[in-house]
Structures are given as C-alpha cells and as structure tokens.
A and B are shown apart, each in its own frame.
Chain A
Amino acid sequence: MKKFNSLPAVTTFLSATFLSTALVSAADLNIIIEEVPDYEIIKKLTEEYEAANPDVTVTFDAMPFDAMRDKILTSSLAPSATYDVIIIDNPWMEEFAKAGYLAPLDDYIASSDGYDFDDFVGAVSSIGVVDGKTYGVPYYNYALGLIVRQDIFDKEGLEIPTTIEDYMETVKSLTTDDMFGAAMQPQKGYKIMEEWKNWLYANGGDVFDTDGNIIINNEAAVKALNQYIETYKSAAPANSLNWGFDEALRAVSSGTAATMLSYNWMLPALNAEGGMSGDLAGNFTLHEVPGGKAVLGTWSWGVPANAEDKDAAWDFVSWISSPEVAKRRAIMGGAPVRTSVLNDETVWKDGYGEAYYKALSGILEDAAPLTSGTNAEELIEIIGTELSAAVSEQKSPQEALDDAAAAVKRANR
C-alpha cells in the first residue's frame, strides 16, 4: 500500500515545486460570496479574469446570508483557510479585524497602480479601516433609501417628504382601505434596527456619542421610537410585526403599499420589465431617506490572514474592484461604490438613468452604519429585541430603550 501511495506523492511534490517556480501566478481561488443580484454580475465578469489569467481558477461558494458568518468563522479558525477571498458585512469588520482573521491590505493598495483607493465613497471605504489599517475594500453598498410609487405621488400631487414628520404625514394620508402608506419591517433584531435607525438619525440620535457613552435611551431616541410606532400603527399593514425585508418588498411590488425604506439597489429590480412588480414596473423611484442621514450597509472584499496565496487573492480583488471593472459592473446592474462610477455618464445612460445614481450619491454622502465595535452583531440584536418589544406594546418606549442601554452595557462587560 505504502509504496503505491508514495510514488504519486513524490511526483506531485516535484511538479508542484517546478510549477511554482515556473508560473508564479498559478492559483486556485476559493471565494465565499453571498447570493445577491451582484453575485451574478461578479460571476460573469470573473470569466474574463480567468481568460486573462489561464493559470488561475476561481471558484465561488455562494450561499445565503445566514450561513456566511459561520462559514467565514470556521474557515478562519482552521490553520489554513478554506477561502482565499471573503466578503465581510460591515458589523463584522472590526470584530474580524481585531480577532486577527484579516490580512492588512495597505501595502497591496499602495503598490497597485491605478487602483485609486480614494475614489471609493468615503463613508463606504472607511468601514474597511480599523485602527488605521485597511482590512477591506468596498464590494457593494446597501445604504437605505426611500422607495416610492411615483405614479401615486403624482396622482395625489404629493411632494417627496424630506423630514421624518413630513414622511409620517404623507404615508398616513396615503393609507386607505386598499392601500398602505408604508410597508415596514419591524421584525425583531437586525431588521427593525436597520429601519428604526433612520428615524433615530433623523432625530439626531445614535447608539453611542462621540466619547463612546451609550445614548440609546436619550430623549431623541425615545422620540424616534414613538414616531416609529406611530407610523407603524397609522400607515403600515395590520399584523405585520414579524415582517422583514421580504414581506415589505412583496407588499410594495404587489401594489399593497406605496412606500418603503429599503436597500437602494432594490429599485432596478422593482422596475424591471416582466419582473416581480408586473404591470407596476417603471413606477418606482428612489430618494434620500427623510431626515437626510441614512443607514449604511457595506460588503467589503477581504483577504483572510490564513489564506495560502495572498498575492493571488489580492490580484483578483484589486482587479474586480478596480475603477475600470467597477464601471462595467455598475452598467451591468451592480451597486456602485466608486465616485467615478456614480458620476459617469456612460453608467447613467447604460445603467438605470441619471436620477437613480444622483439619488444614490445623495444617500451615500450622509450615511453611517448601524453601530460599530467588535460586538456590533450582538448590539444590533440586543437593541433590535427591545425595539420589537416596544412596537408590540410589551414595553413602553422609554422602558424598552432603558433596557436596551442596560443590555448593551452588559454585553460590553
């Protein structure tokens, strides 16, 4: 047995040494990625990369959001990574960077000609920077925007609301027997936090102040929560306490609701001919979140610290996020993260039109993530649980936010 086994092993070893000196770039890249519209585009573009680099094979392991965190974690715990390139959601960035899972990319960025890191929208690219080092470069953004049925607004002669009070009034007036003003997502945890935080921003609140003190139960927060609850009661579908993104989207696409606060990149999908909206396609428009400051989400490309061939990994990452490829990705329907792409007239023309990119630029100009810290994921869940308790009237808003503040303190122990 042993004899038979050792012979191929020796030849493999020899040929591997030989090959690695002959062709430096030969590599198999295994990439974990989330199943989102952008992934299809990335997959298509990657074919070109493989054609240009015949010694590199790129394999995507695409999966739903909920599986990603575990998979990245387990890959990072292993002595040698399963994934050579990963994508990182913004609540995880600080946590993964400080756990030592991610390789710093600053030297790579500096040595890549024409990469132009400063071209990324500042709010988006700063998420990848932890303690002065860059661990991630932007993949796509999921900043929230206000999506409305323009035809209804036109018919009723309504202006697009710019303050949260206007918005509340508008959606209330739109609510009739067969139409709801707003489809909301008050589901416990991440969903409600993601939505309510826009109300909180509109009232000038946040989770922590600039000194790191917890201010989640201050006056602004209580007011924001009261407003949120009032909106839910006056303009959202009845009995929708467990709704997440999914139901809200369906309610809007089927004509049951007139507005929602949601990911900006949903707009193209809503307006797609023959898509989910049927006859309503073409009637949706995107605007800045009322109040002006939006919740920002970002996925970043990262290279695991335990990846075997980091050079090859960066080569792919820098190619896919380069200005030139980013522009083509946007034209194919990807969510842009570069200023040059947002302002590119070819992108406007061949993509989704000037208005969309202008609105998106406006959103990204003033947008901030849900929260920061090494346990952002946990804090979001904690606060989101208390918010849900308040909306479902198990606690008063003040009580719920006080409990949230106490729980945040406890989690930071």
Chain B
Amino acid sequence: MFSFSTRPARIAAFFAIVLALVVVLFPFVWVFLESIKPPSLGGRPDVWVFPPTGDNWNNVLFQSDVPSNILNSFFVAFATVAIALLVGCPAAYAFSRFRGYHGARYSILAAEMMPPAILILPFFLVLYHLQMIDSLAGVIAAHLSFVVPVVTWFMIGFFDEVPRDLEHQAMVDGYTRFQAFYKVILPAVRPGIGAAGVFGFVLSWNDLFYALLLTGGESRTLPVAIAGYWTFRGVDMGKMAVAILIAVIPVLILSFFIQKHLVRGIGGGAVKY
C-alpha cells in the first residue's frame, strides 16, 4: 500500500493510516447511528443494536427547512468565493508583479485578525440602512471580510510561481498587460484558483457567527439550522446528526473528485511568502 523501502516502515505506515481513519471516521459512524436511534436511547452509550428509526431522516429531509438551508449555504459560499476571486486575482497579480506593494502582502492578512464579534455591529447597522438584514446579500458581504484576504493571499503565492517570461512573451506577441494577465497568466494558475476557492468556500460554509445575526427565516444558512437543533430543552442529536450527514456527504463527494487538483493547486505556490 505504501512506497516505503523497508517492510517495518510499510507496516508502521499501515497502522498509522488505519488509526487516523478510525479517529476521523468514528465520530461519523456515531453520528450516523445517532441519526437512526430511537429517542429513548439518547443517554445510553453502550447500546449498539436497536431497531432503527427513519423518523429523523424523514423529518429533516421532508419536513424541515434544512434542504433549503443547504442551498442557501451553497449560494452564499459560491457567491462569496466568486467575488473574492474576481477582485482578489487581479490584485494578487499586481502584488506579485509590481513594485511598491511589498507591505500589501502582509497587511492584507491584518483583516483576518479582526474578531467577528466586533465587526458584526457596524455590519448590522449598515445592512439595516441598506435594508439588507435577513438577506443572503448581507451574509455574503460579511463573509467577504474574511474570505477576500485569504483568497488574495493564496493567489499572490500562485502568481509568484508563474515565470515572468510568460507574460513578457505574450506582450511581445501584441497583448496588452491586462490581456496578458487575463488570457495567459490566469489560465496558468487555474489549479491555484481552485485551491484558493475551495478554502474560501470552507470558511464561508462553516461560519455561524455572522449568519446567526444577519440571516433569519428564509435566508438561514446551514450552520444556523444545525445550531437550531440545540434548544433550551436539549440538543436534538438525532436530527442534528441527519443535518450534519446531508451537509457533509456532497462536500465529501466533491472533495473525492477534486482533491488531486486541490493538492496540485496548493502545491503550485500557495506556499510562498
């Protein structure tokens, strides 16, 4: 299974990976069992065999808003990442290529340090005056505040990796600087765009704090819905488990197909600073 040279190394590697898989998968298995457990077994850690119930799945899939919450989350994450790439790529390119932007590389990260608890109030007041409270647009705006800097920072590294000859050659061929960027350099960093995009997607997908305050009713995102199973009366683990699973499965399938590109993308130069 492994390309290590000695047999003990291969065996050790095997056990290490199995251990890692168990540690990662065990909570998922437990979450799955929890989703089909009858409610009376909620406090029994030692019961593994029981008549399964489909009530939770039925309830979450067909009688709750979770499917539309997932769509909201997808929409928010996609829109956030799209905007972040749109504004982040040209800027990152400029930071990578032009003089005078050395400080920008780091200061762009300063935005990442601001605790959300303190940005939320200004956001709320502005969004209120724009009448964008409880709208997906408001959450997208808030998510931009932490997705844009990270995406831009990633992209700087990718552009650094692209040889300068590439756009020089393009400009010799008659392209303007912008055309060279758009038609030659951008395609060259495509895996990088994918990697930065996925990372931005995860950040937006997981956010609870902004979404909790800036969405309501129809515009709720998935983390808000999941947190909603934590009521004053206790955590409704069964239904929460279903929501977790249906939220993770599509992303897992996605990551199954793209992780190769993802790895190649990040390897393409996110790693420079």
Interface residues of A (CB under 8 A from B): 34-37, 59, 61, 63-67, 70-71, 74, 77-78, 82, 245-246, 249-251, 253-254, 256, 266, 269, 274-279
Contacts and interface: CB of A to CB of B under 8 A. Distances in A.
B40 A276 contact: yes
B271 interface: no
A245 B232 CA distance: 8
CB-based closest 3 A-B pairs: A278-B40, A254-B43, A250-B43
Contact of B234 (A61, A74, A246): A246
Contacts of B141: none
Given A61-B217, A71-B216, A82-B134, A35 B231 contact: yes
B39 A275 contact: yes
B156 interface: no
Contact of A61 (B44, B128, B216, B235): B216
B52 interface: no
Contacts of A59: 217
Contacts of B230: 64, 66
Contact of A67 (B43, B125, B212, B235): B212
Contacts, number: 76
B203 to A, nearest CB: 21
A277 B212 CA distance: 32
A82 B212 contact: no
Interface in B103-136: 124-125, 128, 133-134
23 contacts: A34-B231, A35-B232, A36-B233, A37-B233, A61-B217, A63-B228, A64-B228, A64-B231, A70-B212, A70-B213, A74-B124, A74-B128, A74-B213, A77-B124, A77-B125, A82-B134, A254-B44, A256-B43, A266-B233, A275-B39, A276-B42, A278-B38, A278-B40
Given A71-B213, A249-B233, A250-B42, 19 more contacts: A36-B232, A61-B217, A64-B228, A64-B232, A67-B224, A70-B212, A70-B213, A74-B124, A82-B134, A82-B216, A245-B233, A245-B234, A246-B234, A249-B234, A251-B43, A253-B43, A254-B41, A254-B42, A276-B42
Interface of B: 38-44, 124-125, 128, 133-134, 212-213, 216-217, 224, 227-228, 230-235
Contacts of A250: 42-43, 234
B270 to A, nearest CB: 36
Contacts of B43: 250-251, 253-254, 256
A253 B233 CA distance: 13
Nearest to A257: B43
A305 to B, nearest CB: 17
A275 B133 contact: no
A37 B233 CA distance: 8
Contacts of A278: 38, 40-41
Nearest to A252: B43
A178 to B, nearest CB: 12
A34 to B, nearest CB: 6
Contacts of B40: 253-254, 274-279
A36 B231 contact: yes
A256 B213 CA distance: 38
Given A70-B213, A249-B234, A250-B234, A78 B228 contact: no
Contacts of A67: 212-213, 224, 227
Nearest to A266: B233
B130 to A, nearest CB: 12
Nearest to A30: B217
A410 B232 CA distance: 30
